[in-house]
Amino acid sequence: MPLTSCPSVLVIYTGGTIGMIKDSETGALKSFDWDHLYKQMPVLESLHCRIDPFSFDPLIDSSDMNPSFWIRLANVIEENYEVYDGFVVLHGTDTMAYTASMLSFMLEHLNKPVVFTGSQLPMGVIRTDGRENFITSIEIATAYEDGTPIVPEVCIYFENRLFRANRTIKFNAENFDAFLSGNYPPLAEVGIHIKYNRSHILKPNFRRLKVHRELDTNVAILKLFPGITPHVISGILNIKGLKGLILETYGSGNAPTDHWFLDLLADAIRRGILIYNVTQCKEGSVDIGRYQTSVNLGRIGVIGGFDITTESALAKLMFLLGRKIEQDQIRELLGQSLRGEMTVD
């Protein structure tokens, strides 16, 4: 049930383009005044919900995003979880997919909508995409049916589509249509109506929210390229304290068959480093064993990440390593879908 007949939403502003307006006198971009939201956007009055703002201080460009900020963001949601029906997180677009993926892992048993959005043009610019993104996100965050939220998961709303957060990447630096979920259908499509794709939305489990705050940043990402040398591979695999590596492979999880390459990886795995195989493609899945070039990876103990995004794989590794559980259990969990982040066949 919404908490009252007038649903409530907490709008959490972290920084980024969406919160900028042009100073009418100087023409310079300055911060939108979220504390006086209704004064800035009187149209919000007609939404029939209560919108309360929360602004981080200081605000950050999302290029400065980091794990301690993720923890603070999760704390704000936890502290307000019982008070609001839904949450809208305004975030810079550059690292939104990382933050939103991470929050999906940190917020276990989430039963309320947490909708991330942002914009390519500042809120105060006449052609802004921020206004529509913001208003529709509020509608989605407060949408309930038969007493339960329609989208009780962490998601990203951008340019008429709602995506599962941990399936989404930013793929365009200029277009309004900037986000992509190559391996999972949109959770909703927005035109005259908001059409929810119900069979693809997670169901609420009505369990108590559990927030995981321990994140381990001893991870790295290695993107393969033709001509990569042993120095590069061994340089990364010998980083002091490294516990997990995301290996961005070709196509369906393929990598060079050179002995030196496999030996370096096998040695790292013996030393306890987890290697997670993620494809460089924006659509499709790692399928270890489809080609001889990936059979070797499976044989030495590289873990297949199916169709997970790099952003989500990074968040999952930090989250699982932070849980201080046995390595075997982490290996097992990396092969499972924990929050709908990958399709396991």
Q: Which residues bind ligand ASP (CB under 6 A)?
A: 15-17, 61-63, 92-94, 118
Name the residue nearer to ligand ASP (CB basis): 118 or 152.
118
At 172, is the secondary structure helix, strand, or coil? coil
At residue 220, φ and ψ (nearest 5 deg) are -150, 165
Nearer to ligand ASP, 108 or 132 (CB): 132
Is the CB of 13 or the CB of 306 nearer to ligand ASP? 13
CA neighbor of 9 nearest in space, from 37, 51, 46:
51
CA distance 207 to 334: 23
Q: Rounded to an integer, what distance in angstroms lies between the CA atom of residue 283 and that of residue 204? A: 28
Smallest distance, Å, CB 84 to ligand ASP? 24
Q: Is 133 or 183 the residue whose CB approaches ligand ASP more closely?
A: 133
- Rg value, the chain, Cα: 21
Closest approach, Cβ 143 to ligand ASP, in A, equals: 25
User: Which is nearer to ligand ASP, 118 or 253 (by Cβ)?
Assistant: 118
Distances (CA, A) of 71 to 99, 153, 211, 215: 10, 18, 9, 9
Q: Smallest distance from the beta carbon of 118 to ligand ASP, in angstroms?
A: 5
Dist CA 85 CA 279 (whole Å) = 37
| Residues that are catalytic | 17
Residue that is written with structure tokens 């070709």 in the block: 250
Distance in angstroms (rounded) separating the CA atoms of residues 84 and 97: 24
Distance CA 60, CA 341 (A): 27
Taking the complex as a whole, the smallest distance from the CB of residue 62 to ligand ASP amounts, in Å, to 3
Which token pair is 223?
């993107």
Residue located via tokens 């879908």: 337
Closer CB to ligand ASP, residue 128 or residue 249? 128
> Hey, CA dihedral for 157, 96, 85, 213, is it positive or negative?
positive
The residues facing 228 across adjacent strands are: none
Q: Of all residues in this chain, which one has the CB nearest to ligand ASP in the complex?
A: 92
